[in-house]
Structure 1
Amino acid sequence: MSDAFTAAEREALYKAIFSRRDVRGQFLPDPVPEEILHRILEAAHHAPSVGFMQPWNFIVVTDPAVKAAVHADFQAANEEAAAMFEGERRTLYSRLKLEGIRDAPINLCITCDRERSGPVVLGRTHMPTMDLYSCVCAVQNLWLAARAEGLGVGWVSILHEQALKTTLGIPGRIVPVAYLCLGYVSHFEAGPELESKGWRRRLPLESLVFRDRWEDREPG
């Protein structure tokens, strides 16, 4: 078939998937060329979306003052989050670097306009959250494209949603889906950082796959 992947193309895709990392502490100050930023945004824009509604917008943040405001909110939210854990878990949490907001040359907020295609959207009539899931597909497309370009991405989710909307001037009807840190990095970790730091391990795939019906069992 003319549209079949070559072996090299297939391997490149899997390399991007398996070497993708959530980057927090390895960002370099080197600027990201506009043409590369455009390519990865184009990849995000080609994500699948319910009813082809394309509900996403992309807010590119480079202003240090804006980054500082987002970082200040992260610090407040992070203190609240740390208090939710106890004992050794809280101690380990306090040692983790969970953002690269001020270090990364680019911050990027991906949002969802839930009204973009009107009140009735093909494919969202019975599962209304499909527009949000579509935006998550855009995040993943961008993440893999960035990895192929040699760029690191870190997803910062420890933020107050309303504070983020205020800082970025996001209208009330728009939902922030992802706040990402983006830039060149000194290196990519061999494996997920939370796994190497002892927070969680990757579950075995066979414990997560069922056939035909849900099985009432805990992942191994």
Structure 2
Amino acid sequence: MTTSGSTVLTTLLGLRQSRRFLPTPVDHEDLAQLLEVARWTGSSKNSQPWHLVVVTDPATNGALAECGAFAGFLEGVTASIVVAVEGEGRAVAYDDGRLQERVMLAAAGLGLGSGTAWFSDGESRKRVRELLGLPARFEPWSAIGLGYTDRGQSQASPRLSGRKPLEEIASWGRYGQAAPHRPSRRP
């Protein structure tokens, strides 16, 4: 495996949701790079059904933190990107998630922590729409909180930080069939 391939895999395997951040502001150029990554993220039929609102004002991020059960950590971010999507259905939900994951990976590449906030009910989304002046055609389902992760604080409950064994979530060829035994190519 190449060094760059190894670096990419390390980033993918290490990406975690950050919820506690330092007060250090995120550089404008870093935010612009994240928006460029978002712009180049694939979407169903290349429709790019989103509008992104970058929020760096602490009071606005604090107000966003009050817009849903899964948004509270936005109170401590120095920047967020609200993802407002146009349309509905599986393709739009998939595109929203795809964009968020891509931006979170890019943020990790820039040395930033990130986390996904959800505005899970209609009233919360209505408040976000009003707060940011979004047209009615856009549904603000989520936001990406950004900043420098405060490594001095725990980020997730230990109960939630593990992963199921691969055998519990994957099969080979048919459900329940174990992976074929193959010698590793790694030295």
State the TM-score, normalizing by the size of structure 1.
0.68
1:110 aligns with 2:83: yes
Equivalent runs, 1:77-92 vs 2, <5 Å:
77=69
* CA–CA separation in structure 1 for the residues paired with 2:102 and 2:73: 20
* Residue 157 (structure 1) aligns with: 118
1:9 matches 2:20: no
Residues 147-177 of structure 1: CA deviation (Å, up to 9, x unaligned): 1111011212265222222222222221223
CA contact (8 A) 1:110 1:178 kept: yes
**Aligned 1:24-35 pairs, distance under 5 A:** 24-25=19-20, 27-35=21-29
% identical aligned pairs:
27
1:184 aligns with 2:148: yes
Structure 1: segments with no counterpart, 5+ residues: 1-5, 79-97, 116-127, 216-220
Match of 1:49 in 2: 43
Whole-Å separation in 1 of the counterparts to 2:61 and 2:165: 38
2:61, 2:77 within 8 Å by CA — same for their partners in 1? no
Aligned residue runs from structure 1 range 204-215, under 5 A: 204-211=165-172
Q: Determine the C-alpha separation between the residues in 2 that align with 1:49 and 1:21.
A: 23
Provide the C-alpha distance between the structure 1 equivalents of 2:111 and 2:153, rounded to a whole number of angstroms. Answer: 13
Tell me the matched-pair count: 173
What is the CA deviation profile of residues 6-45 of structure 1, one whole-angstrom value per residue up to 9, with x for unaligned ones? Answer: 71111111121111111112x1121222221111221122
| CA-atom RMSD in angstroms | 2.7
Q: Alignment partner of 1:146: what SS?
A: helix
Q: Note if contact 1:46-1:138 (Cα within 8 Å) is conserved in structure 2.
A: no
Of 66, 74, 83, which residue of structure 2 is paired with 1:101? 74
The answer as to whether partners of 2:17 and 2:115 remain within 8 angstroms in 1 is yes
* Matching residue's letter, 2:114: V
Taking the aligned partners of 1:163 and 1:179, their CA distance within structure 2 comes to 14
Taking structure 2 as the reference length, the TM-score comes to: 0.78
Question: What CA deviation, in whole Å up to 9, does each residue of 1:81-108 have, x standing for no partner?
Answer: xxxxxxxxxxxxxxxxx74322211021
RCO comparison, higher one (Cα < 8 Å, 6+): 1
Q: In structure 1, what is the Cα distance between the partners aligned to 2:153 and 2:2?
A: 25
What is the CA–CA distance in structure 1 between the aligned matches of 2:150 and 2:78, rounded to whole Å? 13
Once the two structures are superposed, residues 43-82 of structure 1 have per-residue CA deviations (whole angstroms, 9 ceiling, x without a partner) of 12221111111112210112233223223334xx47xxxx
1:188 Cα deviation (Å)? 8.9
- The answer as to whether partners of 2:112 and 2:147 remain within 8 angstroms in 1 is yes
Alignment partners' CA distance in 2, 1:65 and 1:40: 22
CA displacement, residues 115-151 of structure 1 (integer Å, 9 cap, x when unaligned) = 9xxxxxxxxxxxx521321121111110001011110
Aligned twin of 1:173 = 137
Is it true that 1:39 corresponds to 2:12 in the alignment? Answer: no
The answer (yes or no) to whether the contact 2:125–2:141 under 8 Å persists in 1 is no
Deviates more, 1:40-49 or 1:201-210: 201-210
